[in-house]
């Protein structure tokens, strides 16, 4: 089955899907979508104007969560969803919170609409601050049974949490010990680390 993933460097949502595909060792063609294409030619592929988007078996699927769930069903090996109905619910709960409540409001297009006059640097700070505030609430739900986000295995919850934390750092937010520890735990597993699309945060020494 041929897979084409429309993605963009620095796209948090695309990184989630790439990490899942890489972890499951599913071959795919990655197509980089430029900022210019996002608002022009690419709208024929995804009218939402967002990456990622997956072309598979004649279907065009957007929204990272929908894409990952589709990948899970097509390629159930190395499941990333959890081993029981409640683990799957917990994984989806974390991902939904990251996707809808943390990521969406700080999206560039949203800020441009609601706060068009804010200088670029102030926008970055605001985005980082928003993510950090939400991450401090999210922490209370994470790593209860093990150093993984939920349960005792690597799941999509780990992917969504680690990528949004890295986004906060890119926006200039300070390191957070809890999320550093989580990222370090993921990266000590060779398979998980090899699948991570961009390792833009060096491992800090264990404190
Ligand atoms: N809920 C969507 C969010 C997608 C999204 O926000 N994509 C960003 C990159 S991470 C994007 O394409 N932004 C384009 C823009 O802001 O113009 C998903 O999970 O796929």
Residue 67 and residue 105 share a domain: no
Ligand 1 pocket test target in 37, 50, 114 with most atoms within 8 Å of CB: 50
Task: Report CA-CA distances (Å) from 65 to 10, 109, 148, 176, 184.
Answer: 18, 20, 19, 26, 24
pLDDT at 198: 81
Give a yes or no: residue 203 inside a domain.
no
Predicted confidence at residue 207, as pLDDT, reads 47
| Edge-to-edge strand ranges of the sheet holding 53-56 | 29-32, 3-7, 53-56, 59-62
- pLDDT by residue (tens digit) across 186-197? 999 999 999 999
Q: Does residue 204 have a pLDDT over 80?
A: no
Q: Is the pTM of this model over 0.85?
A: yes
Domain termination residue (choose one: 74, 95, 122): 74
Verify whether ligand 1 is closer than 6 Å to residue 11 (CB atom).
yes
Instruction: Give, as one character, the DSSP assignment of residue 127.
Output: H
| Residue 205 covered by a domain | no
Which of 33, 52, 74 is where one domain is finished? 74
- Which tokens belong to 103? 């990521």
Q: Same domain for 145 and 183?
A: yes
Kindly state whether residue 204 falls inside one of the protein's structural domains: no
Q: Please give the number of the atom of ligand 1 that sits closest to the Cα of 50.
A: 12
Q: Which atom of ligand 1 is nearest to the CA of 13?
A: 10
Among the candidates 42, 74, 106, a domain finishes at 74
Query: Nearest residue CA, atom 11 of ligand 1?
Result: 50
Examine residue 79 and state whether it is found in any structural domain, yes or no.
no
Same domain membership, residue 133 and residue 61: no
Q: Are residues 109 and 54 in the same domain?
A: no
Residues 10 and 31 in one domain: yes
Q: What's the pLDDT at 139?
A: 97
Identify whether the C-beta of residue 28 lies closer than 8 Å to the C-beta of residue 84: no
Distance 90 CA to ligand 1 centre (A): 23
Predicted confidence (pLDDT) at residue 141 exceeds the cutoff of 90: yes
* 202 pLDDT more than 80: no
Query: How far apart (Å, rounded) are the C-alpha atoms in residues 134 and 176?
Result: 13
Do 97 and 154 lie in a common domain?
Answer: yes
Given a contact cutoff of 8 angstroms between Cβ atoms, the answer to whether 154 and 19 are in contact is no
User: How many domains, in total, are found in the chain?
Assistant: 2
Q: Which domain holds residue 132?
A: 85-195
Q: What are phi and psi of 102, to 5 degrees?
A: -95, -55
23 in the same domain as 111: no
Q: Residues 50-108: pLDDT tens digits?
A: 999 999 999 999 999 999 999 999 999 999 999 999 999 999 999 999 999 999 999 98
- Mark whether 51 and 153 lie in a shared domain: no
Do 7 and 98 lie in one domain? The reply is no
Q: Do 95 and 177 share a domain, yes or no?
A: yes
129 lines ligand 1 (CB under 6 A): no
Instruction: Write out pLDDT tens, residues 1-60.
Output: 999 999 999 999 999 999 999 999 999 999 999 999 999 999 999 999 999 999 999 999
CATH of the domain at 158: 1.20.1050.10
On whether both 109 and 191 belong to a single domain, the answer is yes
Q: Are residues 102 and 166 in the same domain?
A: yes
With a 6 A CB cut-off, is 7 part of the ligand 1 pocket? Answer: no
Indicate the SS3 state at residue 193.
helix
Instruction: Please indicate, yes or no, if residue 202 is contained in any of the structural domains.
Output: no
Q: Which helix (H) or strand (E) holds 81?
A: none
């Amino acid at each position: 089955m041929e897979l084409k993933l429309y993605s963009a460097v620095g796209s948090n949502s695309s990184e989630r899907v790439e990490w899942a595909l890489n972890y499951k060792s599913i071959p795919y063609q990655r197509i980089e979508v430029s900022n210019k294409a996002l608002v022009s030619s690419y709208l024929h592929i995804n009218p939402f104007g967002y990456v990622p988007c997956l072309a598979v078996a004649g279907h065009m699927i957007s929204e990272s969560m929908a894409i990952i769930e589709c990948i899970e069903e097509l390629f159930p090996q190395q499941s990333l969803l959890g081993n029981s109905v409640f683990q799957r619910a917990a994984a989806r709960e974390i991902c939904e919170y990251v996707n809808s409540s943390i990521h969406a409001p700080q999206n560039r297009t949203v800020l441009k609409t609601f706060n068009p006059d804010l200088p670029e640097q102030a926008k970055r700070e605001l985005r980082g601050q928003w993510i950090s505030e939400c991450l401090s609430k999210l922490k209370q739900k994470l790593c209860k049974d093990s150093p993984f986000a939920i349960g005792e295995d690597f799941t999509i919850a780990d992917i969504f949490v680690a990528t949004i934390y890295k986004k906060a750092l890119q926006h200039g937010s300070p390191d957070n010990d809890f999320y550093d520890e989580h990222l370090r735990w993921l990266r000590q597993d060779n398979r998980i680390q090899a699948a991570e699309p961009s390792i833009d945060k060096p491992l800090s020494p264990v404190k």
